[in-house]
Structure 1
């Protein structure tokens, strides 16, 4: 299991395909503040709630200089369906081998009904324009997370 990132760390570079099949690299996102959020599975209730919360606040996040990017272990095809169904207007990146999640400390041991297994840990990292982590949140809850993130970023709700 990878170490969790903390503020001040350099965000690991990556290149992943988005829901349209286009390659997106962290270096492509430089110059603006980026909210990189990791979620376990597209089209599940919690992940849908979180994605829609980001979608519904995207205008105010953009106005504050933030761009939002979601990352999950789903296939490009699953992400395309999810994005279309929920009318998401920000990129969703496919990390099928979970290498990026591991690099960001968002892949690790989870427990469910007494069973332990490896999986994606719902996490959000804010990366500054120079590529450094300015905020790292792990084991976040899907419901209410975007509102809490906005408070932590000192943005008005």
Structure 2
């Protein structure tokens, strides 16, 4: 069952490129943006990470944190961060636990071939740790700006 608006941050841990871990439930206390993307160093995923990196100071000025997640391992994440000078934090979900909880590991189709992959999705949690808004099947252009505007709406409540 997928996480829905009003649900609390799940008790899932993700690995970071520096060898640490991030517990999602510990992100409560301020607005938290969790975005899932298919693969490091691909055109759409690179653009999305660059967009969130460019807006990171604005998110932080609002007291919000952002975390990007894919199935790529820590080494690939570190290369991706270095290659594009990314500032948005990234984490890896190699065991797929977070992807399962957020229901973003889905069957896809490309050129008639079916395969499993990440449905590009974003989740905005309030300081109370509850899901405020989610975006599924995200189209990258303008998405980070849309999320920033939603953080402002969340804070204005």
Of the structure 1 ranges 146-155 and 46-55, higher mean CA displacement relative to structure 2 is found in 146-155
Instruction: Report the alpha carbon displacement of residue 45 of structure 1 after superposing the two structures with TM.
Output: 0.8
User: In structure 1, which of residues 94, 98, 116 is the aligned counterpart of residue 114 of structure 2?
Assistant: 116
User: In structure 1, which of residues 120, 137, 140 is the aligned counterpart of residue 138 of structure 2?
Assistant: 140
Paired residues for 1:8-157 under 5 Å: 8-154=6-152
* 1:6-41 per-position Cα deviation (integer Å, ceiling 9, x unaligned): 210122121111111111111332211100000010
Instruction: Report the alpha carbon displacement of residue 122 of structure 1 after superposing the two structures with TM.
Output: 0.3
* 1:82-102 per-position Cα deviation (integer Å, ceiling 9, x unaligned): 112222223211111222111
* 1:30-85 per-position Cα deviation (integer Å, ceiling 9, x unaligned): 21110000001011111000000000011111111210001100000000111122
Paired residues, what number? 153
Contact 1:5–1:136 (CA under 8 A) maintained in structure 2: no
Q: Residues 153 and 24 from structure 1, CA distance in 2 versus in 1: closer, same or farther, beyond 3 angstroms?
A: closer
Give structure 2 stretches of 5+ with no counterpart.
none
The CA RMSD measured in Å over matched residues stands at 1.5
**Secondary structure in structure 2 of the residue aligned to 1:102:** helix
**Secondary structure in structure 2 of the residue aligned to 1:134:** strand
Of the structure 1 ranges 39-48 and 126-135, higher mean CA displacement relative to structure 2 is found in 126-135
Instruction: Report the alpha carbon displacement of residue 154 of structure 1 after superposing the two structures with TM.
Output: 4.3
Contact 1:124–1:138 (CA under 8 A) maintained in structure 2: yes
CA–CA distance in structure 1, aligned partners of residues 98 and 25 of structure 2 = 14
The TM-score, its normalising length taken from structure 1, stands at 0.89
